[in-house]
Chains A and B, each alone.
Chain A
Amino acid sequence: MSAILQEKETTLYLGPQHPGITGNMMIELKVTGDTIRKATTHVGYLHRGFEKLMEERLWMQCFPIVCRICVPEPDPNEENLARAIEELEGREVPERAKYIRVMMLELSRMATYLLWMGGQSGSAGLYTMPQWTVGDRDYIIDLFEELTGGRVYHMYIWPGGVRRDLPEGFEGRVRKVLDYLEQRLTDYDRLLFENAIFLRRAQGVGILDKDMAMEWGVVGPPLRGCGIAHDVRKDEPYEVYDQLDWEVITHEGSDVYSRAMVRRKEFEQSISIVRQVLDKMPSGPVHNPGPNPLKWRVPAGEAYVKTESARGEFGYYVVSDGSLKPRRVHVRGPAYVHGVSLLERMLVGANIADTSFIMNSLGTCPPEIER
């Protein structure tokens, strides 16, 4: 039976309804036996026309929209748009607000990594891990909810600072969650990162060549998983990242395992960054108010800002013509390259069983590809 299938080329549609696909997209695979010969991605199932909608909205009304661009990790989007507007306006941000922003970004990075750990191990069939990590992620989500009122979408970072100050005793609760997560990491290590079968499945699978990674514009953990130390937080420090003590984490190997290890170590590092932020946080105002949002005109000009999200560089190109509404907001999600052209290339020659494994390790996120 398998000998017959070896010779015949089958077309296999993974998605859009398929449990192995991260989100709503489709990969059309040409398969002989268990080996993939050709992969074609089809995206657009989540297209909402955000960039068009933003041209129809006031500047302030754009904030509820941008956070919906990347569903698992909305904060880098808000941060990007807020920073772009600040750059255009030349508005100052209070020091305390900068620290709170870094804390938000790092907490959201941790939440995303927890979700990713679940996805990566779920795609390999280890269902205990998602149950643990997604459950633990809810502790971070609870912090978000207390601070911002929203579980998933926060709309917390806005031009000139953040929406509200930390509530009473919030710092202590953050520290408690950090301690808990740090202690849980040993469990995760024993269950996933040191699991013999996981190592066997992950090592040597989904190799991304070093030169190719540079050439193709790969960003984030996949790039650092090739041993190349690039991180927007170091290359072009924003907020207060240059005043904190941390290193860019890299891992040699270029395979699924090294990407997993980069993420795992960055998770640990994020805990330490949040702790530093809490230690150093100054007091003072958290918002530098601007004009009435209904009559708010942003000076004409353009700005490109970027933020390191959990999956890599998030870039926003914002053009203003001096009117009440943005002229153009163009979003570059990290998955834009990872999810379409790079994935098509990397899947060739891979085993069908590894498709969703590789997808997860690249951090493909369809909503930010099509927006």
Chain B
Amino acid sequence: MSDTLQKEEQIKASINAAFRSAKVSIQRKGRIIVEFRGGILPAFASYLKEYLNFKHLSMISGVDWPEDNQFELVYHLWSYEQSIHVMVKVRLDREAAKTKTLTPLWEHAETYEREIHEMLGVEFEGHPNMRDFILEDWDDLPPMRRDFMTREYVDEVYEWRKGREDAQDVRQTIAEQYNTEVPNFNNEDK
């Protein structure tokens, strides 16, 4: 077991040596989780990118933890040479969610940050282009927050077709609308 996780242990040791505030744990072969509390994120990311060869930014996920009143941003990095995936977790305060952008390091981080900004409402300082990404004219809570209730929003904004909520046959409603008979879908009477 120990020799198969050799590369992971090495990376853990070098991260621990350089950044004290990072808590590194090895999840399994090829997966490292770094909990990064405090300090400057871009510096840490550029350390991973330049010194440890984590060249590939797979994605940035945002997870909402309302019970801790925090957002968690997870930066997924991949190293082609060592075949290791690192998840860098950063916790942000839910009320004033703000962090530094990583666009100087990875230009395509722009899209991920735009999406997180839109879906969770996290501010990215120094982001070059924070326009609407997916939603258009959205004025409610950012939809990926846990306290945004999609059922309630739907009830409020959209009209249900009769039949969805009272288990009525939808074909009946359509037939009534067109003044036709309900088509028979059984093949028994043939």
Task: Select B134's contact among A214, A332, A337, A370, beta carbons within 8 Å.
Answer: A370
- Whether A315 and B111, one on each chain, are in contact in the complex, defined by CB atoms closer than 8 angstroms, is no
Interface residues of B in 148-162 (CB under 8 A from A): 148, 150-151
Q: Among residues 42 to 96 in chain A, which have CB atoms less than 8 Å away from a CB atom of chain B?
A: 43-44, 47, 49, 51-53, 55-56, 87
Query: Is A350 an interface residue when CB atoms closer than 8 A count as contact?
Result: no
**Option from B106, B110, B146 in Cβ contact (under 8 Å) with A215:** B106
CA distance A317 to B89 in the complex (A): 13
Q: A49-B150, A304-B76 are in contact. Are A332 and B58 (CB under 8 A)?
A: yes
User: Does residue A327 face the partner (Cβ distance < 8 Å to B)?
Assistant: yes
Cβ of B144 and Cβ of A52 under 8 Å apart? yes
Task: Return B155 CB to nearest CB of chain A, in Å.
Answer: 14
The residue among A216, A217, A302, A340 with the most chain B CB atoms within 10 A of its own CB is A217
Q: Are A341 and B108 in touch, CB under 8 angstroms?
A: yes
Supposing A47-B134, A51-B144, A370-B134 touch, asked if A330 and B61 sit within 8 A by C-beta, the answer is yes
Partner of B61 from the list A87, A306, A313, A317 (CB cut-off 8 Å) is: A317
Q: Is there an interface contact between B58 and A235, defined as CB atoms closer than 8 Å? A: no
20 contacts between A and B (CB under 8 A): A43-B133, A44-B134, A47-B134, A52-B148, A53-B150, A216-B107, A217-B57, A217-B106, A217-B108, A236-B30, A315-B58, A317-B74, A328-B61, A328-B63, A330-B59, A330-B61, A332-B58, A336-B112, A341-B110, A342-B108
Determine the interface band of chain A, counting residues with CB < 8 A from chain B: 35 or more
Interface residues of B in 68-86 (CB under 8 A from A): 74, 76, 80, 83, 85
Query: Is B143 on the interface with A (CB-CB < 8 A)?
Result: yes
Q: What residues of A have a CB within 8 angstroms of the CB of B58 in the complex?
A: 217, 304, 306, 313, 315, 332
Q: Provide the main secondary structure of the chain B interface.
A: mixed
In the complex, whether A230 has a CB less than 8 A from a CB of chain B is yes
A256 at the interface (CB under 8 A from B): no
Residue in contact with B31 in the complex, picked from A44, A49, A215, A304, CB distance below 8 Å: A304
Identify B108's interface contact among A304, A317, A337, CB under 8 A.
A337
A52 and B143 in contact, given A304-B31, A328-B61, A330-B59 (Cβ under 8 angstroms): yes
Q: Are A317 and B110 in contact (CB under 8 A)?
A: no
Bound together, the chains give a CA A329 to CA B178 distance in angstroms of 42
Chain B residues near A359: list those with CB within 8 A: none
User: A110 interface residue, CB < 8 Å from B?
Assistant: no
